Amino acid sequence: MTVAELIKVLTQIEDQETRVMVRGYERGVNNIEDIIPAIENIALDVNDEWYYGRHEVQNFDHEYRDKQIVQAIILTGHNASMGSK
């Protein structure tokens, strides 16, 4: 999904105060806590295991020379504290 595609989907939501969340690791959902402003280089289609994400952040430990590399913005969520809302 591109930024333009995401904006198009989100602008079609009638209630613009609707929360946006991400799935938790095993269960539940979390607030989006971060939108990494720096664009990450992502190697596409590198993981086959069901418990890994399909794509991988390109870093100095692993170079994916034979894979397509794209730039992406990463949305993340975490359990900041059990008492927060």
Model's pTM, two decimal places? 0.63
pLDDT of residue 12: 95
Convert the pLDDT of each residue in 5-63 to its tens digit.
989 999 999 999 998 888 877 788 888 877 766 678 899 999 999 888 899 888 766 77
Q: Give me 67's structure tokens.
A: 């894979």
List, in order, residues 6 or more apart from 79 with CB less than 8 Å away: 24, 30
pLDDT of residue 5: 92
Query: In three state form, how does the secondary structure of the chain look?
Result: CCHHHHHHHHHCCCCCCCCCEEECCCCCEEEEEEECCCCEEEECCCCCCCCCCCCEECCCCCCCCCCCEEEECCEEECCCCCCCC
